[in-house]
Amino acid sequence: MVKCVIFDFDGTIVESRYLAVELLNKLAAKYKLRKIKESDYAHLRSLSIPQRCKFINLPFYKLPGLKMELTDKYRQATASLPIISDIKEVVLDQLKANGLALSIISSNSVENINAFLRHNKINSFDNIISSGGLFGKDKAIKDFLTQQALDSQEVVYVGDECRDIIACQKNKVRIIAVTWGYDNEELLASCHPDALVHHPLELCNAIL
């Protein structure tokens, strides 16, 4: 029986892809990156993170430093980012009405996430957790299960990237992948999530 739903943040709850591209392009000269054009968007969604780094000429070892700078610059625009349509009223409110605990585990900062939630008057979440690095989500999920005394079968994770799927698979947590975020449908399917949904209206049926 599901007791808790964990959500990713960027790409799942908030539409931040275009801000990420804008910030990367602003840092392109500093990091000697290839600038991203609008015509590159669809192709980038089909690539893994290492492949995206190669595409923009970013050495993989520089990724943690770039991620920290992006998170800091992101803070200034967080509140104004658009929420994914139907997530609040249709999904979060309905899940809460069914007695489920809701949490966020994201590689974004707790400060950025809370700023967005306050701006959008969302108070549905019981826990907001930052996994820190891009690839620390599996440990964050493991620690969350221990701290909340939850069995992996009592939890569902909702995310938009293959790294979310892999982190959940390591913890035997059911993962629902959404196709409106950073990774496209084909890339998500290649990582074998438990379910793949194309619109927020499908989420409640997939979870409950």
Tens of pLDDT along 75-101? 888 878 999 999 998 899 999 999 999
Write out the DSSP string of 129-189: EE--STT-HHHHHHHHHHHTT--GGGEEEEESSHHHHHHHHHHT-EEEEETTSSS-HHHHH
Indicate if 192 and 156 belong to the same structural domain: yes
**Domain containing residue 199:** 4-15+82-207
Residues in the chain: 208
The last residue of one of the domains, among 64, 79, 94, is: 79
**Rounded CA gap, 56 and 47, in Å?**
12
Q: Are 108 and 71 in contact (CB under 8 A)?
A: yes
What is the band of 135 on the pLDDT scale with cuts at 50, 70, 90? confident
Indicate if 32 and 86 belong to the same structural domain: no
Indicate if 106 and 138 belong to the same structural domain: yes
pLDDT tens digits along 95-128? 999 999 999 999 999 999 999 999 999 999 999 9
**Rounded CA gap, 9 and 14, in Å?**
6
The last residue of one of the domains, among 79, 107, 122, is: 79
Sheet holding 155-159, edge to edge: 127-130, 101-106, 4-7, 155-159, 174-178, 195-197
Which amino acid type is present at position 193?
A: P
**Rounded CA gap, 165 and 175, in Å?**
6
pTM above 0.85, yes or no: yes
Indicate if 167 and 114 belong to the same structural domain: yes
E strands, the chain, in order: 4-7, 101-106, 127-130, 155-159, 174-178, 195-197
Q: How many domains does the chain have?
A: 2
Indicate if 200 and 168 belong to the same structural domain: yes
**Rounded CA gap, 152 and 141, in Å?**
10
73 pLDDT above the threshold of 90: no
**Rounded CA gap, 98 and 205, in Å?**
12
Indicate which CATH number applies to the domain containing 197: 3.40.50.1000
CA end-to-end span of the chain: 9
The last residue of one of the domains, among 79, 108, 133, is: 79
Indicate if 191 and 128 belong to the same structural domain: yes
Indicate if 95 and 186 belong to the same structural domain: yes
Indicate if 99 and 201 belong to the same structural domain: yes
Indicate if 59 and 108 belong to the same structural domain: no
Q: What is the pLDDT of residue 77?
A: 83
Burial of 146 (0-12, 13-18, 19+ CB in 10 A): exposed
